[in-house]
Amino acid sequence: MNKAAEYEVIHGRWAMLAIPGIVAQEQATGVPWYDTGALCTPESCLENYYFPGAIAPLAPEGSGLPSFWAVLAFEVIFMGLAEAYRGGLTAPPKGFPSPADVGVYPGGRFDPLKFSEKVDMEEMKIKELKHCRLAMGAFLGCLAQQAYTGVGPVANLSAHVSDPSHNFFGSQTAPWNM
């Protein structure tokens, strides 16, 4: 499998995680996904550590939970090492196969329940690639929707459900009424 095809599957998997995350985050907090980073800095979030409508607080000072900076450092170091290993920039650790031998599809160490033996893997690869492309298109739709309407997908859906003939594509009037 060439690198471009592997990257397409990896980006598609991230998109399949992003779409439910976008919807769940807006549903849980009421804040659109593109505004969450502007709510606070690490210092101000520790002072006032509840997001609007949030279910769980961030780690307050003295709580024993890891700080923002500790989590960030951990993610940068370990995710960076994992990506360097996957991308072939570093040698695999002793006892691990090379990334070229593993690939991006299940099997071997990543398949403890032997799911890859129970199904036609070629058919499942095609299905996953279709789902990946659909999710990447949905993410592009979320980007375009935010640029056009200025609100998130949950707010747009709520407005459309409340009055379908007048609220679609972010408009307040239907095109046939203009």
Minimum mean pLDDT among 35-44, 111-120, 123-132: which range? 35-44
Instruction: Encode pLDDT of 105-115 as tens digits.
Output: 665 555 667 77
Residue 8, Cβ density class (10 Å: 0-12 exposed, 13-18 middle, ≥19 buried): middle
pLDDT at 176: 40
Instruction: Encode pLDDT of 42-68 as tens digits.
Output: 666 656 555 555 545 555 556 666 666
Write down the domain spans for the chain: 3-177
Q: Does domain 3-177 have CATH number 1.10.1660.10?
A: no
Say if residues 53 and 28 touch (Cβ distance below 8 Å): yes
What pTM does this model have? 0.64
pLDDT at 13: 92
pLDDT at 28: 81
Tokens 């659109």 appear where?
32
